Structure 1
Amino acid sequence: MTKVDAPPAYEEALHSPKYGNFPEQPQYGFAAPPPPAYSPSPGVCPGQPGRWGQASAYPQAGMREGPGFPPSGMPTIIPTLSGGVPPSNPDMDDFLSSQWEHTSVRHAFIRKVYLILAAQLSVTISIVAVFTFVEPVRVFVIRNPAIYWTSFAVYFVVYCVLVCCKEPRRRFPWNLLLLSIFTLAMSFLTGTIASYYDTKAVFIAIGITAVVCVAVTIFCFQTKVDFTSCGGLLCILAVLLMIIGMVTTIVLCFQYVPWLHMLYAALGAIVYTLFLAYNTQLLIGNRELAISPEEYVYGALSLYIDIVQMFLFILQICGAATD
């Protein structure tokens, strides 16, 4: 028997198997793919012998068909990490847009509150300056204490109305009108009290109040301490301040403890400083409690009362120190 070293040709091996006819293999749901056609491989010219002395018989790219392969003529898709994920998430876009809208509304609300507060403080400082520097006005106010009690009554009534009716009106700004009346009454009340003190004490009290207000505002915007969660403590301090005020009024009438009013004034300045921090963080809105952006009149009213009351307590301390 002779042995042929060279491999047989493709058609000869396909149509005339060397070892006879084998039984047909079972097909599992699909027909066997037809044999690929001859095509020259890259770098091999047609008619030139390949590795085995034959033309290259490798199929072209994209011509392979069968299970696990895409049909011929279709591009091959390579999976990536972003496959199946949409380029943008609508829920995330809505969340970010709502957060941005909420932040812009809150910033506009804060600007509106501080503009109203600046107008109120300007009116108050102007009236206090008139009551302090104009001597005929100062003498007239001291000789007529009815001005003080009238301004106090108007201040108390308008404050109760503003607290009970916080929602702004769209057609006519009733709240702004009431706030203007309240500011004038509070300014006359403050000017009347300031007229009993020396000019030097008034200047010192205004300077200290301005420094404390700026420091507290910056601290509230920067700190992570939540003053809005200390409402119970502030209520206790307010009740304590009211009780000490009543006791001080009774004791000073009989002149038992002359220095008790200094203690009361120091406690009042501390309590209203804490209230200023509390109301400032209510405006910011990123703490446990916050006020609605529509209640800008109530926000400005709260800050204005805190600042004016702090000024009055500091004025008592400065007046006693200068005397």
Structure 2
Amino acid sequence: MKKGKQVNDGNEPPSYQEATAGYEEMQVQFAWDDKAIRQTFIRKVYAILMVQLLVTVAIVGLFTFCAPVRFFIQTHPSLYMASYLMFFSTYIALSCCGELRRQFPWNVILLVLFTLSMAFMMGFVSSFYNTKSVVLCLGITALVCLSVTVFSFQSKIDVTSCQGILFSLCMVMLLCAITLSIVVPFGYVPWLHAIYAVLGAILFTLFLAFDTQLLLGNKRYTISPEEYIFATLSLYLDIIYLFSFLLQIMGGGRE
């Protein structure tokens, strides 16, 4: 019997080392490709989101600071209802129709219409508040969004696994909304509305962290890189609703 390395003559099955040769390299390659795709996905989402926010801030600023435009939209509330109908229809189309959401250019067209309608609605609402309140709430919203984004990227806490907390807060907000709808006809209750607005601001701050971590791909739940329209839609709504609730908390009406 000869000593030394035995050579597989083809009649014996390959060893474990021979069968798995190159497997680790393939894993590294797949992980690298997935990371590159995820990074491209994140950049695409935030690029679209920045355009949406710039358009929204521009329209809010126009409706808040330009007196003729402010007077026109305040005296034509039907424009608000028309924008609300457009917002609702485009939101349903983008959130419920998966194929349409991923089909270019219809997804971009619907997203543009959705952004313009939401920006018009926020501009209409902001026009009833004084300019200092609007600017202050815009600044606070920007700081909160920056803080939540940094936290979501750096923290090891998995917010995506806290769905029960988000659901409980949504139920509390629903009960507050029902209570407000019953109480308001008999008289406005400032402290009840303040509680509702504070809960709304907290809830959508958590939703912002939840949706941000869905983008990363390293938590319990993730979102597919193909769903960049839906991801952008979710982040944009979180920021807009956060701004609206902050405006209800700290905003002062025009005299």
Instruction: Note whether the superposition's TM-score is higher than 0.5.
Output: yes
| 2:135 alignment counterpart | 203
Deviation at 1:148, TM superposition (A): 1.7
Matching residue of 2:227: 295
Alignment map for 1:1-323 (pairs within 5 Å): 89-167=21-99, 168-169=101-102, 172-320=104-252
Query: Match for 1:194: what amino acid?
Result: S
TM-score, normalising length: structure 2: 0.88
3-state DSSP of counterpart to 1:235 = helix
What SS does the corresponding residue of 1:263 show, helix, strand or coil? helix
Q: Which residue of 2 aligns with 1:76?
A: none
Give, as a single letter, the amino acid of the residue that structure 1 aligns with 2:158: D
- Aligned-pair distance for 1:321? 9.3
Instruction: Mark the runs of 5 or more structure 2 residues left unpaired by the alignment.
Output: 5-16
Deviation per CA, 1:215-246, whole angstroms, max 9, x where unpaired?
A: 00000011111111112321221232122123
Q: Deviations over 1:190-211 (max 9, x none)?
A: 0000001000000000000000
CA shift in 2, pair 1:68/1:268, >3 Å? closer
For 2:11, the equivalent position in structure 1 comes to: none
Tell me which structure has the larger Cα radius of gyration: 1
TM-score, structure 1 normalization: 0.70
Provide the identity percentage: 47
CA contact (8 A) 2:129 2:252 kept: no
Amino acid at match of 2:189: V
Runs of 4+ displaced beyond 3 Å: 67-70, 166-170, 320-323
Question: What's the offset of the Cα at 1:166?
Answer: 3.2
The runs of 5 or more residues in structure 1 that have no matched partner are: 1-66, 71-84
In structure 2, how many angstroms separate the alpha carbons of the residues matched to 1:69 and 1:251? 93
- Deviation per CA, 1:55-108: give whole Å up to 9, x if none: xxxxxxxxxxxx9899xxxxxxxxxxxxxx78x940000000000000000000
Q: Which structure has more helix as a fraction of its residues? A: 2
Tell me the distance in 2 between the aligned counterparts of 1:273 and 1:96.
Answer: 36
**Aligned residues, how many?**
242
Question: Larger RCO: Structure 1 or Structure 2 (Cα < 8 Å, ≥ 6 residues apart)?
Answer: 2
Partners of 2:185 and 2:90 in 1: CA distance:
30
Q: Distance in 1 between matches of 2:127 and 2:238?
A: 21
Secondary structure of the 1:259 match is helix
